[in-house]
Chains A and B, each alone.
Chain A
Amino acid sequence: MDKRLEKQLLKVQKPASYTGGEPGSVVKEKETVDIRFAFCFPDKYEIGMSHLGMKILYSLINARADAWCERVFAPQDDMEQLMRAGGFPLFGLESGEPIRDFDVIGFTLMYELCYTNVLNMLDLAGLPVRSKDRKNLSPLVVAGGPCVCNAEPMADFFDLCMLGDGEEVMNELLDLYKAYKAKNASKAEFLEAASHIKGIYVPSLYDVSYNEDHTIRAVTPLKSAPARVEKRNVADLDHIFFPDNFVVPYTEVVFDRATHEIFRGCIRGCRFCQAGFIYRPIREKSPEVISEQSRALCEATGYDELSLCSLSSSDYTHIKELLEQLLSWTEPQQINIALPSLRIDNFDKELLDRLSAVRKSGLTFAAEAGTQRLRDVINKNITEEDILSTSREAFSGGRTAVKMYFMLGLPTETDDDVKGIAELAQKIVNEYYRNPDKPKGKGVQVSVSASNFVPKPFTPFQWEPQDTYEEFIRKQDYLRACITTRKAALSCHTPKVSALEGVFARGDRHIGDAIEYAWRHGCTFDSWEDHFDYDKWLDAFAATGIDPAFYANRRRSYDEILPWDHLNYGIDKKFLIREAEKAKHAETTPHCRIQCAGCGANKLNGGHCDARR
């Protein structure tokens, strides 16, 4: 870091998040590497340092002798002011050197509302934000993460996007970059070659034309780019790279622990859930490999907590074997195991008792909808009896708090469904008082959290209109009025944020203009309440001629060309249409292990799917 900036560092909050040097961070001799990579996380250090994907790719790139990967996070306001006032460009934490001189700048897009931070970070680095204004091969600006499944709103800013699993495609990209850099190739030459790597999407190689009603007429590949870009799929998690060390932060971050992904994909097929579709097919890692790698990781980092992560963890087929293997070394070493999304109903009691971290955590239900009819619409295969019996068991075990997650604005929702949320909360409260062993003098607390549904690409609801801001407010007010017990506390997400997410999630390339306009007028850190300024966004849409309702609140027809149709995540559109139609009739689809629904994702895996072993 520049010594003059270092001198002023005590003026900012959490200065240690800008210094690097944490245990596990990698410092190389820059003269010895061919590729310098800036891994940018467009949010605060405390969020980015909790992200497993970044840890994997950081270690993977640094495992190469020819490359050095450094971390970069979005500086907070106080730091940004110091940097802009003193003319200090954005730097990598490991070397303290400006990232504009690096070879590759990679962003991970976890969430739509971090988009302005991407632009702000490029600007702080001293680079033009638009791809076409960066003429040279380096720095190459790339992106990955779940949001690139509809990269179109950010298409004008990135040189290329990596779709799907990053472990293999990252190395292929760096090999190609190294070869093209060595022969002094132009950026255009490189991008065309990169578009031939499976999983790499070069937005500038696709021309988008529009109909008069602003819908898309055609997406035409240019030069030799493929017509559709298929996401990358790692077939075998046991043999794919996994880090043997993490950077262990000094300052407190959101998730400060060893983390291991036990499987990718999900068998459930909840119709609102994008993650449940874009990470298909399901691929499990074997208990032996998880246990062995986790042990090495805990020894290298000194962490005393190990978190097993995945979507719907209880669907892991060898959960008992895995926990037994893990506990054999975690118990003597005083390491806690956390299983954040475990269903406790069908679980070995003795094993559960040995998981102290699970004991401590609260009971949470993601019921998502208040009535059985609506739960069937969204294919959330959980019944009221499931919820009540699990609550009963938890209450008899001495618990007094239950957390429940719901969504407002789901397709086909009526006021009865909204009211159903309040009724379900009341039934849980009643269940508590029916329990003869309830703790004396202690009340029950049911926390009801209602978020707002945002239709997402690659889900059966991708054609659905989102509720308007006014409708969300009305439903929230109605729900508040329906909750009469003081034992249930309601918290609602702000619909303004959801409305903006709704525009970005299914946006096309026009949205990029609004993102740039909003950023130039002061929008950053939009996912943080203290920064979010909805009026500025409305100004940005007005100034760039964008009607947010066209993107968020419009029902699309099945034959409309969607902005992400040229990206192939392995999910057949016909399957999504089948699911969308079943949803309209409140018809459920059994999960993948009961019956294959024919989503098509097994084709990514050479026809193989772990759910049908």
Chain B
Amino acid sequence: MRDVRLVFSKLGLLRFVSHLDLNRAVLRCIRRTDIPIWYTEGFNPHPYVTFALPLPLGAESVNDVMDIRVVGDIKNREIMEKLNAVLPEGLRITDCRNPVNKIRELTSAEYLFFFSEATDLADVKTIIDGGALTTEKPGKSHGRKVMKTVNLLEEIHAVSFDDAAKTMTIRLPAGSTKNVNPISLAEELEKTNGGIECALVRRTNLYTDNGKFI
């Protein structure tokens, strides 16, 4: 029995498929192959699959990560080929390897924001440089559901702009302790300045404190 790390991309219309729905779809795709998958041993046995970091609805991703557990003899390359043969359009396994990092070591993620032709990138820069962009999100206080105000730009690991391509590359906190939703960021940017139009958000890399998540 061993864990296998699948690096995958989720592109195009698949960005409208939520994390839970993707999880279910992947389970079914695995069942369509003869990969010797390990089944959980609970009341309702199912193939064991864990995603490194849920992707918000509306975002694409490349270099995304899920782990599966296999039993018996199968090569990584074979797993990748068998899965790619059954995955729907928009979902592709791009690499299959033995995990190095643990999923809980993941602390940040890099996103690529594509802006429309009409957007003035300087407007985006001004907001990002300001370091403050708040959004409301549902949270809990003393066991009650409340709306909490959070600053999306409190912690920026890195940011760069490409004026010709009209894109912004930004690395933000991610993982179980602190997580910034890039779709909220895109929405708040658009709300703050009506001239900004974000065409697409794509998550491009995952990081631990010591470098890329591998």
Contacts and interface: CB of A to CB of B under 8 A. Distances in A.
Given A10-B57, A10-B58, A21 B14 contact: yes
A29 to B, nearest CB: 15
Interface stretch (A12-20, A84-92, A170-178, A467-475): A12-20
A9 B13 CA distance: 10
A6 B21 CA distance: 19
Contacts of A10: 16, 57-58, 183
Given A21-B88, A21-B90, A334-B45, A252 B32 contact: no
A301 B25 contact: no
Nearest to B20: A252
A16 B28 contact: no
Interface residues of A, number: 25
B31 A252 contact: no
B157 to A, nearest CB: 26
B189 to A, nearest CB: 14
A566 B150 CA distance: 68
Contacts of B39: 334
Nearest to B29: A302
A22 B57 CA distance: 16
Contact of B25 (A20, A248, A299): A248
A23 B28 contact: yes
A15 B30 CA distance: 24
A303 B17 CA distance: 18
Contacts of A299: 32
Contacts of A16: 16-18, 21
A29 B199 CA distance: 28
A250 B57 contact: no
A334 B13 CA distance: 31
Given A16-B21, A250-B25, A300 B57 contact: no
A300 B31 CA distance: 9
A23 B88 contact: yes
Contacts of A300: 32
Contacts of A21: 12-14, 88-90
Nearest to A300: B32
Contacts of B199: 7
Contacts of A302: 27-32, 86
A252 B25 CA distance: 11
A384 interface: no
A250 B17 contact: yes
A534 to B, nearest CB: 34
Contacts of B22: 250
Contacts of A244: none
B28 A248 contact: yes
Most A CB contacts (10 A, CB to CB) among B13, B30, B89 go to B13
Contacts of B212: none
A491 to B, nearest CB: 28
A304 interface: yes
B46 interface: yes
A235 to B, nearest CB: 34
A245 to B, nearest CB: 10
Nearest to B58: A10
A251 interface: yes
Nearest to A22: B88
Given A10-B183, A16-B17, A252-B21, A301 B57 contact: no
Nearest to B26: A302
A398 to B, nearest CB: 16
Contacts of B45: 334
Contacts of A303: 28, 31
Contacts of B28: 23, 248, 301-304
Nearest to B87: A23
Contacts of B88: 21-23
A68 B174 CA distance: 44
A9 B16 contact: yes
Most B CB contacts (10 A, CB to CB) among A15, A16, A333, A334 go to A16
Contacts of A250: 17-18, 21-22, 24-25
Nearest to B187: A10
Contacts of B16: 9-10, 15-16, 18-19
A192 to B, nearest CB: 43
A528 B57 CA distance: 27
A248 B22 CA distance: 12
A18 B17 CA distance: 11
Interface string A247-283: 0101110000000000000000000000000000000
Interface string B58-86: 10000000000000000000000000001
Interface string A199-234: 000000000000000000000000000000000000
A304 B31 contact: yes
A19 B24 CA distance: 17
Given A16-B16, A23-B29, A302-B28, 14 more contacts: A1-B13, A15-B16, A16-B17, A19-B17, A20-B13, A21-B89, A248-B28, A250-B17, A250-B22, A250-B24, A251-B17, A302-B30, A303-B31, A334-B46
9 contacts: A10-B16, A15-B57, A16-B18, A19-B13, A19-B17, A20-B13, A21-B89, A23-B28, A250-B21
Interface of B: 12-14, 16-18, 21-22, 24-25, 27-32, 39, 45-46, 57-58, 86, 88-90, 183, 199
5 nearest A-B pairs in the assembled complex, by CB-CB distance: A302-B28, A302-B31, A15-B16, A302-B32, A19-B13
